[in-house]
Amino acid sequence: MTVPNAPTVRVTGLTKTYTVAEKQPGLMGSVRSFFRRQSKDVNAVQDIGFALEPGEMVGFLGPNGAGKTTTLKMLSGLLHPSRGTVEVAGFEPRRRQTDFLKSVTLVMGQKQQLIWDLPAHDTFLVNQAIYEIPDDVYKSTLREFSEVLELDGLLNKQVRKLSLGERMKCELAAALLHRPRVLFLDEPTIGLDVNMQVSVREFVQEYNRRYGATVMLTSHYMADVTALAKRILVIDAGRLVFDGDLEGLVERGSADKTVKLQLGRAASAEQLGQYGTVLRLDGLNAELSIPRSQVSAQAGRLLSELEVADLTVEDPPIEEIIGRLFGHKEMDGKDEQDVSAAPEVQKVGHD
């Protein structure tokens, strides 16, 4: 039974260890492996802990191989933890109880549940039966989703004839027909164009507002995270290394700000270099990197000493900040296992 005001998701000491076979290259390596198999333990997730409040939307970030997808699969009950405890919506996910399955959903942008050769509406009807959704609730929910996601004209087409964006909208609708109160979204906008990414984000925001759902989102499109999540969890090499708001992550990952200039008169890179590091100079447009503590003073100098038509101060792109934090490891792609060391978690604004 769920305790009022208790966290919707509670994770303590969560660890997932795989035993992986090792083999030397070549024919002799195969022969040796046949008679004496060698293996090693690989920690995909190592002793992580956090709690998500009801209705909270949280971004879950990390480089390739950090353990993001492994974590989401343990939270949804698809994988069993090697150690630690997980509680989601008052249930232990690994037990896969019916009421738990009706309370959560896992959407993976690189997987599909829609039946390829049938219209999406047929999969919807299958899900209605599986989740025992009453007809009136099913019809009402489908009307809502059709309006927000603009599904008219799509549901009676064979899935294989839908575009990637159309298919993803139908996937989201199918996954949420039972109105789950916990959403685990793993790269839900991967491969979609900018307009379709915006549509998916707006749908998730509206679903959160309307149903008070708790949302945990991974994405390598940082616009998804900045638009949806105020709180950020960062995992690296299976360990949780940051838990706080986006501003705290930016401050940790970048000691500089970017100053963008539109000049009224051309200036040389040497001139601009007196105020900061020149990132770009293209005719009358320039970008400088300036330490945060010096931004006000240097901006004042720029305005008084040069002919400046416009000046804006911004944080570096979040993608760049993440790259700096993780040694420029990529933020996209499949989630492989990684066992290198990582620093202790830094918490900002959360107990």
In the β-sheet with 38-52, what is the strand arrangement from edge to edge? 38-52, 9-22, 83-88
Q: Residue 2 above 60 pLDDT? A: no
Same domain for 261 and 243, yes or no, is: no
CB 185 within 8 A of CB 215: yes
Alpha carbon 212 to its chain's center: 19
| Residue 292 pLDDT | 87
For the chain, the average pLDDT equals 87
Give me the CATH number covering residue 273: 3.30.70
Same domain for 14 and 47, yes or no, is: yes
In the β-sheet with 277-282, what is the strand arrangement from edge to edge? 277-282, 285-291, 256-263, 308-314
Same domain for 345 and 287, yes or no, is: no
Confidence of residue 349 (pLDDT cuts 50, 70, 90): very low
> How many whole angstroms separate alpha carbon 258 and alpha carbon 4?
45
| Residue 182, domain member (yes or no) | no
Q: Residue 250 above 70 pLDDT? A: yes
Burial of 128 (0-12, 13-18, 19+ CB in 10 A): buried
Mean pLDDT of 296-315: 92
- 164-175 tens-digit pLDDT: 889 999 999 999
Same domain for 348 and 259, yes or no, is: no
Confidence of residue 336 (pLDDT cuts 50, 70, 90): very low
Q: Residue 97 above 50 pLDDT? A: yes
Same domain for 60 and 99, yes or no, is: yes
| Residue 197, domain member (yes or no) | no
Q: Residue 332 above 70 pLDDT? A: no
Alpha carbon 303 to its chain's center: 39
Same domain for 6 and 64, yes or no, is: yes
Tell which wins on pLDDT, 105 or 253: 105
Q: At what angle do helices 164-176 and 135-149 cross, to 10 degrees?
A: 150
> How many whole angstroms separate alpha carbon 351 and alpha carbon 348?
8
Specify the number of domains making up the chain. 2
> How many whole angstroms separate alpha carbon 158 and alpha carbon 114?
10
Same domain for 21 and 99, yes or no, is: yes
Closest CA relative to residue 111, chosen from 173, 167, 51: 167
> How many whole angstroms separate alpha carbon 245 and alpha carbon 169?
29
Confidence of residue 128 (pLDDT cuts 50, 70, 90): very high
Same domain for 345 and 263, yes or no, is: no
| Residue 221 pLDDT | 83
Same domain for 217 and 306, yes or no, is: no
| Residue 9, domain member (yes or no) | yes
Same domain for 229 and 247, yes or no, is: yes
Confidence of residue 205 (pLDDT cuts 50, 70, 90): very high
Confidence of residue 36 (pLDDT cuts 50, 70, 90): confident
Task: Give me the domain span that covers residue 350.
Answer: 1-103+213-254+318-351
| Residue 14, domain member (yes or no) | yes
Cα-based torsion angle of the residue sequence 190, 191, 193, 196 in order, rounded to the nearest 10 degrees = -50
Give me the CATH number covering residue 27: 3.40.50.300
Same domain for 219 and 269, yes or no, is: no
| Residue 266, domain member (yes or no) | yes
| Residue 72, domain member (yes or no) | yes
| Residue 153, domain member (yes or no) | no
Q: Residue 350 above 50 pLDDT? A: no
DSSP secondary structure of 102-114? TTEEEEETT---S
Tell me the whole-structure pTM to 2 decimals: 0.78
Same domain for 25 and 92, yes or no, is: yes
- Amino acid identity of 166? E
| Residue 140, domain member (yes or no) | no
- Alpha helices per DSSP H over the chain: 26-35, 68-75, 98-101, 120-130, 135-149, 164-176, 194-211, 222-228, 246-253, 269-272, 295-305, 318-325
